[in-house]
Amino acid sequence: MVRRNKKPGLARYGYALERIEERLESLETKLAYLEDFVTELQGTVLEGNAEFDRLKEEHRAMKVKLLHISQEVGTMPQQKPPHY
């Protein structure tokens, strides 16, 4: 009887390693897409924040202007028109 040094389940381990490598490659690909998406999303959020800050400043300026106009309108009925 001749004994072989090969273990009977060794081929199965080779298949398992190939499968693990395929899964790892798939995960690395998905991670690369996710990293790209997060970078793009971050840029979009930063643009949105800048626009929001600009709109807040514009709102503040309009609020001040409206307050000033409303104060002027409040004193108008007491004034005589310029042609008198």
Q: Please state, in angstroms and rounded to a whole number, the distance separating the CA atoms of residues 42 and 23.
A: 28
State yes or no: pLDDT of 71 exceeds 80. yes
Is pLDDT larger for residue 74 or for residue 1? 74
Q: How many residues does the chain have?
A: 84
Q: Which two tokens mark 42?
A: 């971050």
The predicted model gives 63-82 an average pLDDT of 81
The whole-number pLDDT of residue 4 equals 55
Whole-Å CA distances, 51 to 39, 42, 43: 19, 14, 12
10-62 pLDDT, tens digit per residue, is 667 788 899 999 999 999 999 999 999 999 999 999 999 999 999 999 999 99
The whole-number pLDDT of residue 14 equals 80
pTM for the full predicted model: 0.57
